[in-house]
A and B are shown apart, each in its own frame.
Chain A
């Protein structure tokens, strides 16, 4: 019974926690500039994420170690220094972008400049991190995040032709702006397959004390939750394609993105968009800050856990506090959150191979996953992702300059 409840909560929170600043930005831009044509990229990125999340949960469920902890133990600190530093830099920048996104959501509602909201938001994020256990953070934010289903409602109400949607799930070459198209395809992948999600998920699996017998819960949650979450991202793309595309509005700001809700939600449009954006970004900011604490504590061997009293895990608490402060300082300087998001998703792609390669080794090491090692299909997927990730890492910076 408890496993069923966990499963339902897991799937529901996966839906509510899926959409954040990266997925909204990239999907909205893709829809407004290329119609449904990049829907395949959202679907493919969702599939990649589901497989990686399932593996990180399986690793944590069997070995009782998070991804960062297992990599540290298997490969040693020297191997991990560079990927760790890269992941932390991306996490800090993404945290700044998420805080900026949440602050812009409040600006859409109040008209008061977004920088004014960064520090109050930072205080709220820190209070949540300091006072709440893992379950409350994960499920509370996930349930609130169900508001993002408004993107699906919007897309549904706008009535796209299902044949067109189905056709768009097969990759096709663009008719215009090929570099921009490629950049957005890579960015959608970077926005969806965020490295922090994998360690956050595996740390959560350890915190929630998932047993080997309950691995099926992990599998169903990973695939079903991600599938539904991907549908929300597709809702953003489809709404943007139907409303903004024909008007030739390219999304360069969240104010423009909010317009995609007007035909369906009328006078509630901006409020609904702002709340969806705000909760999505706030939830991701909390998770990112918490994950930074997880990663640093797991790598340096400090006591960690959102379910522990914070005073018994002082270094872990100090780690997420410092990371949060650095990110808030960057956000308050006034960088455009949307541009920062696009830079972050590019950087995510750059570091992806370094994070996926150790995964391939760990998921085949019986010391960690016992009899639950990867089969040929999953190994093939990881190997392919490492190769494709390396290729994307090579092209993403030129693409960002030429097509970003």
Chain B
């Protein structure tokens, strides 16, 4: 029982770190685009690539049903879904050259890394 819990904790921690990384990536790309350092072409494809990685990670998270039964897993799944939606909106914002839209959506990114 204890081993199963530990394994579950480790798995959740791994997913959490992956989503944190993808959230941080989204924020860094958006900031780069807002500062003018990153082109629209790169920003667009990098957001699309990040969205794909979020979806892959969500699939991996939901592959083990017991992970979703855990409240932490369920929260993570919801946050990941929100991150996916935000990425889709950010892609639209960049295509429309809507800087305020990008700022608004970046501020809504639900998964921030723990200050280690």
Contacts and interface: CB of A to CB of B under 8 A. Distances in A.
Interface of A: 107-111, 247-250, 252-253, 255-256, 258-259, 262, 266-267, 269-270
27 contacts: A108-B42, A109-B41, A110-B41, A111-B45, A247-B24, A247-B28, A247-B113, A248-B17, A248-B21, A248-B24, A248-B113, A250-B17, A252-B21, A253-B53, A255-B42, A255-B46, A256-B25, A256-B46, A258-B46, A262-B28, A262-B32, A266-B37, A267-B36, A267-B37, A267-B38, A267-B39, A270-B39
Interface string B30-54: 0010001111011011100110010
Nearest to A266: B37
Nearest to A180: B14
Contacts of A267: 36-39
Band of interface residues on B: 20 to 34
A255 B36 contact: no
A238 to B, nearest CB: 18
B45 A108 contact: yes
Contacts of B58: none
A113 B38 CA distance: 18
B29 interface: yes
A107 B24 contact: no
Q: Is the interface of A mostly helix, strand, loop or mixed?
A: helix
A103 to B, nearest CB: 13
B72 to A, nearest CB: 18
B20 interface: yes
B18 interface: yes
> Nearest 6 A-B pairs (CB), nearest first?
A248-B113, A111-B41, A255-B46, A250-B21, A270-B42, A255-B49
Nearest to A176: B116
A107 B46 CA distance: 10
Contact of B18 (A250, A253, A266, A270): A250
B45 A259 contact: no
A255 B37 contact: no
B42 A248 contact: no
Interface string B55-82: 0000000000000000000000000000
A295 B41 CA distance: 41
Given A259-B28, A259-B29, A248 B50 contact: no
B38 A270 contact: yes
Contact of B42 (A247, A249, A258): A258
Main secondary structure of the interface of B (DSSP, over half): helix
A4 B8 CA distance: 61
Contacts of B45: 107-108, 111, 255
Given A110-B41, A247-B24, A255-B42, 11 more contacts: A107-B45, A111-B45, A249-B24, A253-B49, A255-B29, A258-B46, A259-B32, A267-B37, A267-B38, A269-B37, A270-B39
A34 to B, nearest CB: 13
B38 A262 contact: yes
B25 A249 contact: yes
Given A248-B113, A255-B49, A259-B29, A111 B17 contact: no
Contacts of A248: 17, 20-21, 24, 113
Contacts of B18: 250, 252
B37 to A, nearest CB: 5
Contacts of B41: 109-111
B109 to A, nearest CB: 13
Contacts of A250: 17-18, 21
B97 to A, nearest CB: 15
A111 B44 contact: yes
Nearest to B57: A252
A115 B32 CA distance: 26
B84 to A, nearest CB: 15
Given A255-B50, A259-B29, A111 B42 contact: yes
A67 B13 CA distance: 47
Contacts of A252: 18, 21-22, 53
Contacts of A258: 42, 46
A249 B23 CA distance: 8
A190 B12 CA distance: 30
B36 to A, nearest CB: 6
Contacts of A255: 25, 29, 42, 45-46, 49-50
A96 B78 CA distance: 37
Contacts of B17: 248, 250
Contacts of B25: 249, 255-256, 259
Contacts of A110: 41
B28 A249 contact: yes
Contacts of B20: 248
Nearest to B46: A255
Nearest to B113: A248
A297 B38 CA distance: 47
